Structure 1
Amino acid sequence: MADKPDVGEITSFNKAKLKKIEKQEKNSLLTKETIEQEKRSEISKNLRLEDSPTPPHPTPPNTVISETPL
């Protein structure tokens, strides 16, 4: 039947032909020092943005600003 997969190649597969490799574990967790450094960087970036002479984007004309929730 066409609905069932062909497992003929799987049963005759030779694992001995596979290359042997050495695993290298990756530590994706950040260290406490890295987290603190990123926090300082974000704070510094936010302070620079606040001090920038560029004003925030103005509200376009014909825009109604409602203080009541929709």
Structure 2
Amino acid sequence: MTAKLDAVAVADATGDIPQSINFAIRPDAVAAFLHKNDIKFRTADAEAALESVPDATARVKDAVYPVVCSD
């Protein structure tokens, strides 16, 4: 995730603090985009033990790139 909802701006506009707002890209959409653009990738091992969020973030931080979609 590289974008975050501005909770203060929403609270100012609506008078309520937003909760449980998340953004994600469907894995099949990402895979289709990567295939279409001949970008090599590998999927995670579904049987592997889960890492903590800080550990996983540190491990992949140099491989994370913004994706901008437009019509």
Q: Identify whether the pair has TM-score above 0.5, normalized to the shorter chain.
A: no
TM-score (norm 1): 0.24
Q: Of the two structures, which has the highest relative contact order with CA contacts closer than 8 Å and spacing of 6 or more?
A: 2
TM-score (norm 2): 0.24
